């Protein structure tokens, strides 16, 4: 408990410091000074409950006073794999509008955020932040069932908003990463679990619940 209370006067937990250090090692040399300036300017960190599966970085009032990455697209910058207390974790750092923004971490690391890492973490650069922007978001891979549904869906049914490979977005829920394929006020969601070989879709009735395998036809759920 005392360790978590220390975050009231420290910017980063030991976990976040280590993750940022590992990412810096794989950046192009020309990007490291930009990265350092961005990390130094972070003055608010939001750790999403319940397990810190998403950790967001903010520079208030805004990032525009800093030198930013040439690539202003929204993209996944780097991936860190590490182990703590015999369990494997993966963290992906994303960049948006030319600056780092969030780590998506699975499983959620709250319980081990102050624990030492086991040796030999690995980090890989996913995309070069120095490249020219394309003006588009990084595309997502959609399950075939959802691709087929979109091809025949017509107008979105009953207040649902449907997402394709350019608009679907990722969230961490219940220690796993999901792709939001559709949502409706209420809220309700249709999801796909990322990084599995299965094509299964999931249904989430509310933010506070756990995604459940979708055992009904999509048309039935969306009535």
Task: Tell which residue, 197, 138, 148, 146, has the closest CA to residue 170.
Answer: 138
Lowest mean pLDDT among 18-27, 90-99, 164-173: 164-173
Assign 223 a pLDDT band (cuts: 50, 70, 90).
Answer: confident
Query: By percentage, how much of the chain surpasses pLDDT 70?
Result: 96
- pLDDT tens-digit profile of 118-143? 999 999 999 999 999 999 888 999 99
- Asked if pLDDT for residue 42 goes beyond 80, the answer is yes
Average pLDDT, the chain: 91
- pLDDT tens-digit profile of 54-100? 999 999 999 988 999 999 999 999 999 999 999 999 999 999 999 99
The pLDDT value given to residue 2: 46
Residue 10, CA distances (Å) to 3, 133, 166, 192 in order: 10, 34, 37, 36
Torsion sign across C-alpha atoms 6, 10, 12, 17: negative
Domain ranges of the chain: 2-125, 144-221
The pLDDT value given to residue 7: 55
pLDDT: which is higher, 164 or 197: 164
């Amino acid at each position: 408990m005392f360790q978590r209370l220390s975050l009231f006067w420290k910017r980063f937990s030991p976990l976040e410091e280590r993750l940022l250090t590992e990412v810096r090692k794989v950046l192009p040399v020309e990007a490291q000074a930009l990265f350092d300036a961005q990390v130094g300017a972070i003055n608010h960190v939001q750790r999403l409950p319940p397990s810190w599966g998403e950790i967001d970085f903010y520079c208030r009032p805004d990032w525009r006073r800093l030198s930013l990455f040439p690539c202003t697209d929204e993209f996944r910058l780097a991936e860190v794999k590490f182990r703590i207390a015999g369990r494997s974790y993966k963290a992906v750092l994303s960049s948006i509008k030319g600056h780092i923004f969030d780590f998506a971490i699975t499983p959620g690391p709250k319980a081990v955020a102050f624990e030492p890492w086991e040796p030999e973490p690995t980090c890989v650069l996913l995309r070069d932040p120095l490249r020219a922007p394309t003006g588009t978001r990084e595309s997502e891979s959609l399950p075939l069932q959802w691709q087929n549904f979109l091809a025949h869906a017509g107008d979105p049914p009953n207040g649902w908003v449907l997402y394709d490979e350019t608009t679907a977005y990722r969230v961490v829920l219940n220690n796993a990463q999901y792709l939001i394929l559709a949502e409706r006020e209420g809220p309700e969601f249709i999801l796909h679990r990322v990084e599995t070989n299965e094509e299964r879709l999931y249904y989430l009735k509310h933010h506070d619940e756990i995604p459940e395998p979708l055992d009904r036809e999509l048309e039935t759920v969306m009535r």
